[in-house]
């Protein structure tokens, strides 16, 4: 089985500062760094580092930023499946304060123009049993079409509808697994309580809903039961990218036929590792670290 991550990629510039600026105020950052990011790219790298076979599909421009992205991602995937279009490569500015909270602003021209079913070989590459992963970076109609096609092709669909488009409700009717954080769950459902929110998302078509709860772990809910997964111990440095590590890790584990419950526990541990590091993609556990987390879970399960 393969994981097909369909989404976005960008250049991330991360600024670390004591506090966020007020309107009209200019602050000097304590430090700054560039790297490759984007929710799609982050999730694809996390999935690949579980040991799964991963295809990553996203659009870039034809500029220097695109060359940097391709050079840095080349070791992660078997082949380059990123079409180049005549737009500026997407960028994100990430600000992280002393409490490890973050604010992110993105330019998403390539992501908004990208149509995977038109621009790539996605239609011909999906096989029954594969895992197809999407986020909220592409246009809503494009995302819905990809999920519908993947589901009809016999794939398991995993949807992380983040970032949420303003005043819109994502289509969950073709999502086997929906992964959202507490804020996203409330924004979609109108329910602040995570279990109530998850149950509402089930009525909207999701097969299984996972609500991530930060340091408190996550809640896994389907039409039969609800399970609370405890958080893993972590020293928090930077929370940006942790949700993507979680999503990618779940997808990668499922592609290796690891049951969902175990996949979620492995993903929770991987996300805990990531928040102890700076950056988005840079914080993702390595291939060796992922293998260790998977081995530990298997040993625990078999004990």
DSSP per residue, 213-231? -GGG-EEEEESS-EEEEPP
- Per-residue pLDDT 10s for the chain (303 aa) are 999 999 999 998 989 899 999 999 999 999 998 889 899 999 999 999 999 999 999 999 999 999 999 999 999 998 889 999 999 999 989 898 988 788 888 899 999 999 999 999 999 999 999 999 999 999 999 999 999 999 999 999 999 999 998 878 899 999 999 999 999 999 999 999 999 999 999 999 999 999 999 989 999 999 999 999 988 888 887 777 899 999 999 999 999 999 999 999 999 999 999 988 877 788 899 999 999 999 988 888 776
pTM: 0.91
Our measurement of the distance from residue 132's CA atom to the centroid of its chain's CA atoms, rounded to an integer in Å, reads: 12
pLDDT at 104: 84
Does domain 2-21+31-302 match CATH 3.40.1190.20? Answer: yes
Buried b vs exposed e over 223-246: b needs ≥16 C-beta within 10 Å? eeeeeebebbebeeebbbbbbbbb
Distance CA 104, CA 95 (A): 6
Rounded CA-CA distance 133/151 in Å is 11
109, burial (CB in 10 Å: exposed 0-12, middle 13-18, buried 19+): middle
Q: Are the C-beta atoms of residues 252 and 52 closer than 8 Å to each other?
A: yes
CA-only gyration radius of the chain, Å: 18
Q: Where on the phi/psi map is residue 241: left (φ > 0), alpha (ψ -120 to 50), or beta? A: left
**Structure-token pair, residue 267:** 């993903």
| Upper half-sphere CA count for residue 120 (Cβ side, 13 Å) | 26
pLDDT at 303: 64
The pLDDT assigned to 80 comes to 87
pLDDT at 96: 87
């Amino acid at each position: 089985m393969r994981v097909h991550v369909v989404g976005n990629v960008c250049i991330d510039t991360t600024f670390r500062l004591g506090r966020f600026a007020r309107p009209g105020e200019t602050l000097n950052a304590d430090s700054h760094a560039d790297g490759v990011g984007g929710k799609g790219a982050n999730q694809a790298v996390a999935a690949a580092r579980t040991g799964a076979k991963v295809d990553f599909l996203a659009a870039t421009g034809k500029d220097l930023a695109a060359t940097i992205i391709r050079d840095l991602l080349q070791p992660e995937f078997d082949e380059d499946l990123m079409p180049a279009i005549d737009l500026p490569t997407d960028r994100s500015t990430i600000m992280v304060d002393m409490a490890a909270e973050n604010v992110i602003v993105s330019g998403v021209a390539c992501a908004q123009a990208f149509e995977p079913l038109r621009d790539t070989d996605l239609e011909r590459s999906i096989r029954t049993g594969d895992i197809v992963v999407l986020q909220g970076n592409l246009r809503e109609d494009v995302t819905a079409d990809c999920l519908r096609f993947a589901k009809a092709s016999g794939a398991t669909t995993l949807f992380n509808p983040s970032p949420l488009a303003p005043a819109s409700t994502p289509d969950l009717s073709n999502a086997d697994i929906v992964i959202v954080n507490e804020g996203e769950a409330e924004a979609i459902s109108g329910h602040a309580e995570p279990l109530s929110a998850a149950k509402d998302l089930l009525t909207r078509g999701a097969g299984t809903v996972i609500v991530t709860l930060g340091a408190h772990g996550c809640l896994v809910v389907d039409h039969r039961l609800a399970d609370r997964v405890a958080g893993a111990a972590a020293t928090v440095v930077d929370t940006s990218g942790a949700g993507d590590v979680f999503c990618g890790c779940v997808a990668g584990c499922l592609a290796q036929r690891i049951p969902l419950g175990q996949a979620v526990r492995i993903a929770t541990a991987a996300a805990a590792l990531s928040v102890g590091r700076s950056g988005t993609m840079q914080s993702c556990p390595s291939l060796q670290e992922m293998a260790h987390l998977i081995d530990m879970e298997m040993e625990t399960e078999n004990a």
